[in-house]
Amino acid sequence: MSQSTPVKKTPIVTYTVIGLCVLVYVFEKTNLAAVDAALISPLQMGGIGAAWTLLTTTLVHSPSNLTHIIFNLMAFSVLGKLIETMYGPFRLTVLLILLAWVASAAQLEFAGLGIGLSGVVYGIFGFMIGASPSNPFLWWFVKKNALMLIGWAVICVVLTQTGTLSIGNVAHFSGLFYGAICGLIYGLRRYRYAFIGLAVLIPIILGFMLPGPVRAGG
């Protein structure tokens, strides 16, 4: 696509994801164990057969930290609506699924199971970075917001390393990196087939790297 400014459309996919996150959060407040059993634990118990959990864990946020879901959804609302209005709901849906898979799988494999939408949020911003060379509006948006978003990602690493907070930094940076690869399909069309190949290969590799079932005493 070559739009330089977003076209006003109802961002159904963006609103749906926000609604699902809020719904899951409400359920967490009433029955956290049930949410954990349904949306988080299956991957640990079932291995690759429950890999769909890589998607559902992005809908789950810390029930004891309201700012976790508030900040994630605020950022997702802005970035998701922008990409959905520019590239359409189908492309955004595919992008979200791929980002959730990659960010969650990388986090699980290199730092332990994580929850939350932040890896996807950074993935969308990464997509904007990748697509910006051929899109003046995205180039302007990236320049305006890069310092804040990348700066916060770095601060999160510091907070984690100092033991202040436990944050899914691997999800942040893997989402950002993979999102940029997806964005380059549009941003550098001359090399789009190479980036399409990478965009397909990376989730497959991460899928094969998923750990097997976790068994008590194993």
Residue 209 is predicted with a pLDDT of 86
User: What is the rounded CA–CA span in Å between residue 193 and residue 81?
Assistant: 27
User: What is the rounded CA–CA span in Å between residue 107 and residue 103?
Assistant: 6
Confidence bin at 45 (pLDDT 50/70/90): low
Q: Are 2 and 135 in contact (CB under 8 A)?
A: yes
CA atoms within 13 A on the CB side of 100: 21
pLDDT tens digits, 177-211: 999 999 999 999 999 999 999 999 999 999 888 87
Residue 131 in 3-state DSSP? helix
Residue 8 is predicted with a pLDDT of 66
Phi, psi angle pair for 7, to nearest 5°: -100, 135
Residue 211 is predicted with a pLDDT of 73
Q: What is the mean pLDDT of residues 145-167?
A: 93
Phi, psi angle pair for 215, to nearest 5°: -115, 140
Q: What is the mean pLDDT of residues 22-40?
A: 93
Q: Are 116 and 71 in contact (CB under 8 A)?
A: no
Residue 170 has pLDDT above 90, yes or no: yes
Q: What is the mean pLDDT of the chain?
A: 90
Confidence bin at 156 (pLDDT 50/70/90): very high
Confidence bin at 1 (pLDDT 50/70/90): very low
Residue 42 is predicted with a pLDDT of 83
- This prediction's pTM: 0.91
Q: Which of 7-11, 17-21, 32-36 has the highest mean pLDDT?
A: 17-21
Fold of 12-208: Rhomboid-like fold (1.20.1540)
Confidence bin at 2 (pLDDT 50/70/90): very low
Show the tokens assigned to 159. Answer: 């907070």
Residue 51 has pLDDT above 90, yes or no: no
Percentage of the chain beyond pLDDT 90 is: 77
Confidence bin at 214 (pLDDT 50/70/90): very low
Q: Which of 142, 123, 134, 125 is nearest to 189 (CA)?
A: 134
> Where is pLDDT greater, at 164 or 138?
138
Domain spans of the chain?
A: 12-208
